[in-house]
Structure 1
Amino acid sequence: MLKVGLTGGIASGKSTVGAMFVNLGAHLIQADEIAHQLMRPGEPVYEEVVRHFGAQILNEDKTIHRKRLAEAAFGEARVQELNRIVHPAVIEKQEAWMEEVGRREPNAIAMVEAALIIEAGAARRFDRLIVVTADVEQRVQRWAAKVKTDLESAGAEITRRMAAQIPDEEKTRQADYVIDNSGSLDETERQVRVIYDQLRAVRLSREKS
């Protein structure tokens, strides 16, 4: 099995790229989805997040209000505090998932999509690392569409979140492959196909060795 990390900055289009890899045959798990599950009421991670950030981040039904949590983490410079609570449990789930994929399909390409692979020092867990990039204007437009806000507000949020992440220039230096997602979907898909073929070649060479 080939373990692949898929990462990139805020609104770079990681999920879009991940879906393209899945269409070609890769297995994919999203760190965001794992985190959402871990932050459901009753989960140990949920209890720790509420203990650290307070009841003001909760909805009336006691579920976590994601926007309030993001405002508390990014607005109060407490991102690292949140990451220290959530990341270990997320990584544990990722490892268990990759082990299960490997048991079911030993020749699989197992891909983990996560925004902070490099920031968390987790790149070494993977055989190959893919970084998705996009220009800032594209990111702002995507974020505005995603959260249904105006471009000015989206720009401020993108700037704030990018400041908490490693710059793209550093990420691309650590990457095995880089996908520029600033253009059309067709252009992105062409890059994905080329990289997927290269990943398959790496996997096949390992099978023969």
Structure 2
Amino acid sequence: MTIGEQRTRTRTTLIGESRFRPDSIGNLGPAWGPLPRTNQNCHFSLRSNRHGDTFSEQPPGCTRKMIKIAVTGGAGSGKSTACECFRQLGAHVIDLDALAREAVRSGSPTLKAVIEHFTGEGIVASDGTLDRRKLRRIITRDAEARKNLETLIHPEIFRLFQKKLAAIEARFPDAFVVVEVPLLIELGLQDQFDVVVLIDTRPGLQKSRLVERNGCSSEEAQALLDIQMPLEEKRPYADYIVENLGPIDQMKSAIGKIYKKIQQSCQKGLTA
């Protein structure tokens, strides 16, 4: 077990490996206000500065609220694999990358606004859809373009997210909801979630996964990594840290232990 200083949080260690799926273009941006309140190591801990050892915000015997778990990390760290592990354990998962694609679906007002803003940049594919790879190249080298893109697409992503979260809560008011949020820390959204899980890995692994999965060049992969906050700087904000260096079975084991710990802590909070 490794203990690290993160305000009043503690950390522990486990394992995992990942199949990478590209992060959504841009990040969540200022459109995101407060969310509804209702190869060898994996670290985990609860936020002792907010919950102590349990989620004890409610009186004993009451019905537990929905628990929101944010999964964050860098491009190629293994966030999507971690979310799939949570899904297999019974958690509800919201994929913000999928919502980003839905926001700019063919014929949508958001896609029209993006195309109009980037006129002349050749970001429209032959089938009329958004050429995400070409747009990614633009925003990795131009911070202003990246900011403009965020302004255009984030309100719609947030609307879709709120709709999906509300639908889950309506049917399953005490659900465990896992949300993949790539730039959670950069945007200061960590306190909008009950638990934060950081998927960490080595920079070299991130880069090789990006090249393999995205079909991009080594230079393109590095350009994407260069505009992201280093994973090391995100560690103090996490309740659980999974160092994703090994095979997928290790990731499954790590996520399983984390999920069990969260469930046990919630149960303690209801019965204390």
| Superposition TM-score, scaled by structure 1 size | 0.90
Q: Which residue of 2 aligns with 1:203?
A: 266
State yes or no: 1:2 paired with 2:62: no
Match of 1:27 among 73, 87, 92: 92
1:52 aligns with 2:52: no
Aligned to 2:160: 93
In the alignment, structure 2 segments of 5+ residues that lack a partner are 1-65
Give 1:178's aligned amino acid. I
Q: Does 1:177 align with 2:240?
A: yes
Q: Is 1:62 matched with 2:125?
A: no
1:91 and 1:122 mapped to 2: Cα distance? Answer: 13
- For residues 116-145 of structure 1, what are the alpha-carbon distances to aligned partners after superposition, in whole Å with 9 as ceiling and x for unaligned? 222223222211111111112211221122
Paired residue secondary structure (2:68): strand
Highest CA radius of gyration, 1 or 2? 2
CA pair 199-95 structure 1, distance change in 2 beyond 3 A: farther
Task: Name the CA shift for 1:99/1:203 in 2 (closer, same or farther; >3 Å).
Answer: farther
Which region of structure 1 is more displaced relative to structure 2, 84-93 or 97-106? 84-93
For 1:54-133, list aligned pairs within 5 A.
54-55=119-120, 56-77=122-143, 78-133=145-200
Structure 1 stretches lacking a partner, 5+ long: none
Matched position secondary structure for 1:192: helix
Distance in 2 between residues matched to 1:140 and 1:162, nearest whole Å: 8
Q: Residues 132-188 of structure 1, C-alpha deviation per residue, up to 9 Å, x if partnerless?
A: 111122112211221235xxx23x223211222221122111111111112221222
Counterparts of 1:194 and 1:27, CA distance in 2: 17
Q: CA RMSD in A?
A: 1.8
Distance of 1:133 and 1:100 partners within structure 2:
31
Measure, in 2, the Cα distance between the counterparts of 1:91 and 1:116: 14
Amino acid at match of 2:250: E
Q: Is the 8 A contact 1:94 1:112 kept in 2?
A: no
SS at match of 2:184: coil
Residue 98 of structure 2 aligns with an amino acid whose one-letter code is E
Percent identical residues: 29
TM norm structure 2: 0.70
Measure the CA separation in 1 of the matches of 2:123 and 2:215: 21
CA contact (8 A) 1:12 1:132 kept: yes
Give the match for residue 42 of structure 1.
107
Q: Which has the higher helix share?
A: 1
1:118 and 1:95 map into 2 onto residues whose CA distance is 19
- The number of aligned residues is 205
Match of 2:225 among 135, 145, 162: 162
- CA distance, structure 2, for counterparts of residue 187 and residue 14 of structure 1: 14
Q: Contact 2:99–2:157 (CA<8 Å) still a contact in 1? A: yes
Instruction: Give the 3-state SS of the residue equivalent to 2:241 in structure 1.
Output: strand
Change (3 A) 1:71 1:19: same
